[in-house]
Structure 1
Amino acid sequence: MLSAVLSMGLAPATLAQTSDVPPAPAEKPDPNAPSAAPEEPIINLLDREPEPLFSDTLVPYAPARASSPGIKGGLRQGALYLMAKLTPDSPPLNEGLIWRIYSETTNADGRLQLVATSQGGDAEFRLDPGTYLIHTAYGFSQATNRIVIGKEVQSKMVTLNAGGIKFGAALKDGEDLDGRAVAFDLYGMEFNQRGERNLIASNVKPGSILRLSANTYHVVSKYGDVNAVVRADIQVLPGKLTEATIFHKAAGITLKLVNERGGEAIANTTWSVLSPGGDVVVEATGAFPDFVLAEGEYEALARNNGRTYLHTFQVEPGEDREVEVVTSISELASQQQSSINN
């Protein structure tokens, strides 16, 4: 389960004891209190008309603390204290949160104005009376809520309904592929207008943890840069860390063109690796090209000094090896005879 620890926020500034002192901040939300709808609930944006794109331009706003006693500006503002948790029953998060406060008033470009930001755990803001949008991000999990600010002090708890995925990769015998050329791409389950899944995160390395909204996701794991690709649908549960290990049936293959078995590799060789149907799987140039190939049968085609040499080979999962393509007539005849006998 994703861990979350209560973090104490910034205490409100102490003002001089005068008749103009603003009201004391409300108590922080009790993490153990049962979830109940507040008298003035935060309204989810899904219940409203679509808003324009958010603006990334920060609009200056009054600081959370008055610079000196007796400043009247703080009296004209309301205080907002925010906390977030993964589920209604989990403790508040004390790190990894990004808070953004947007004004509902749009600028000349039709974008919402960014008023204030905060990172870490809980957050406190002093805001002019008005309507705002609270955008809460925890990794790739996000929530946007609407709130009306007056001159009073408000405390709100945001429930993200989020979990996480920890990525891992292994061979079919269980050998760990951490540290090798393995990467993951994460997609949503829905398709866009081009018939493609929406990419959420790319080139994620084994051992990485992504924070995500509870949902089902499509994961593509690629071992090497050729055709060792495995796909899977993985469900993320709220408040849980899902460990997703993808098993690959592939191996590393190094090609060599030699004059005789066990001989020196011949430089300036152009290579093509073909599927049983004759389709080109991968091409390269050099004395020792190496690839990770999915399990199966392939044909290596080597071109050197105006001549072409062919050799059929098999890829077995987890069996990294060298594949030699020989140029000698006797070796080629022996391979052909062996193929006929088989």
Structure 2
Amino acid sequence: MIEGRHMLLILAALLMASPASATSSTAAIDRTPVIEGSGADVASQIRIELTRPGSEALRFDARLSEDGGIINRPISWRIRAFGGETLLARDADVAELPAEPGDYIVEASYGAVKVERKLTLLEGQRLGVTLVFNVGGLRILPKLKQIGLPAARPFTSIYKVSGIDGGTLVAVTEEPGEILRLGAGSYRIESRFQPGNATAMTEVTVKPGLMSAVEIDMSAGIARLDVAGADDHDVIWFITDAKGEALPGISGPSAEVVLKPGNYNLRTQIDGSETTSAFTIEPGKISAIIQAN
């Protein structure tokens, strides 16, 4: 027998949830651990290093894509004995620990992609698994035509478009320009500003290992509301559109509201006293509405 450690490198194809599929992909290789998957369709690269009994270990890392480099940003790892206690839970680029031969569950999350793998560590092995997340970056910047980014807070929802989980909400962001990490595929983006009633929708395809940038230009205007000298007063604004649809009341002596083009009625409540008025919103314009105290 040759002395020293022997490294076997297995580049596995996409691992399906079926144990039969996992077995057939490695049937010609002796002493290969069984790996079963659930969650996202994430491929794996497996490395087996032969070692002395009693020095077995597990090691996990990940790639953005099959031909991409190892991810050096934090990944949420959780490793537990099958049917037993959690052995490791950490946010790091790599997760590794000494382990006895047996069955284990590894859970990994990176951005919106979550995966779970069941694997078997055999005696006399150090097992390394590299998950291939097939993740891309998506940067979303909602703004208004001819105005840019308003003071109102954006709220963006991202939905999966196709597949068995089509229509599923996968991420939400309230930060303009935030970079989201999503599994490769097609997504529907829905954006709106709060307070306001203007919305916009678009679709985008995320590719593994690549960054996609989406700028959403809404056709809307801004109502800039203000009550002069009312800092110490209780002010609530009530806005209703021409169809009678009302926005939730907006508290505060001043507010910036993003609205669809059209005619609106305004009811201003100051310390319990009310005044009413009307105004019009045009796309790409700011309407200043000042109420006397």
TM-score (normalizing by structure 1): 0.62
- Aligned position for 1:6: none
User: What does residue range 292-303 of structure 1 map to in structure 2 within 5 Å?
Assistant: 292-302=258-268
Letter in 2 for 1:87: S
Letter in 1 for 2:54: R
Structure number with bigger Rg: 1
Post-superposition offset of 1:227: 0.9
2:193 alignment partner, one of 213, 216, 223: 223
Q: 1:148, 1:35 → 2: CA distance?
A: 15
Q: 1:303, 1:79 → 2: CA distance?
A: 68
Letter in 2 for 1:85: R
Q: 2:73, 2:142 → 1: CA distance?
A: 28
1:208 alignment partner, one of 161, 178, 195: 178
Q: How many residues align?
A: 259
Q: 1:144, 1:268 → 2: CA distance?
A: 52
Q: 2:244, 2:92 → 1: CA distance?
A: 56
User: What does residue range 152-163 of structure 1 map to in structure 2 within 5 Å?
Assistant: 152-163=125-136
Query: Do 1:311 and 1:325's aligned partners in 2 also have CA atoms closer than 8 Å?
Result: no
Tell me: CA distance 1:249–1:98, structure 2 relative to 1, closer, same or farther (3 Å): same
1:316 alignment partner, one of 282, 285, 293: 282
Tell me: CA distance 1:41–1:148, structure 2 relative to 1, closer, same or farther (3 Å): closer
Query: Do 1:42 and 1:145's aligned partners in 2 also have CA atoms closer than 8 Å?
Result: no
1:254 alignment partner, one of 224, 230, 247: 224
Q: 2:281, 2:222 → 1: CA distance?
A: 9
Letter in 2 for 1:98: S
After alignment, is 156-165 or 264-273 more displaced? 264-273
Unaligned runs of 5+ in 2: 14-24, 40-51
Q: Any idea what the Cα deviations from partners look like across 1:119-174, whole Å, max 9, x if unmatched?
A: 4323332111101122222222122222210221223322112112112122223x
Q: 2:270, 2:115 → 1: CA distance?
A: 60
Q: 1:83, 1:205 → 2: CA distance?
A: 29
Is 2:16 the partner of 1:43? no
Tell me: CA distance 1:230–1:318, structure 2 relative to 1, closer, same or farther (3 Å): same
Tell me: CA distance 1:154–1:324, structure 2 relative to 1, closer, same or farther (3 Å): closer
- Aligned position for 1:89: 67
Q: 1:87, 1:306 → 2: CA distance?
A: 60
User: What does residue range 1-342 of structure 1 map to in structure 2 within 5 Å?
Assistant: 24=5, 26=7, 39=29, 40=32, 43-46=35-38, 75-104=53-82, 106=83, 113-150=85-122, 151-173=124-146, 175-177=147-149, 181-189=153-161, 198-255=168-225, 271-284=237-250, 288-302=254-268, 310-323=276-289
Question: Identity of paired residues, percent?
Answer: 22
* RMSD value, Cα: 3.8
For the residue of structure 1 that corresponds to 2:249, the secondary structure is strand
Q: 2:241, 2:66 → 1: CA distance?
A: 53
Post-superposition offset of 1:208: 1.0
Letter in 1 for 2:155: A
Tell me: CA distance 1:226–1:180, structure 2 relative to 1, closer, same or farther (3 Å): closer
Q: Any idea what the Cα deviations from partners look like across 1:81-126, whole Å, max 9, x if unmatched?
A: 333112211122122223322222x25xxxxx32223443233321
Larger relative strand fraction? 2
Unaligned runs of 5+ in 1: 1-21, 48-73, 108-112, 258-263, 327-342
Q: 1:305, 1:212 → 2: CA distance?
A: 48
Letter in 2 for 1:83: D
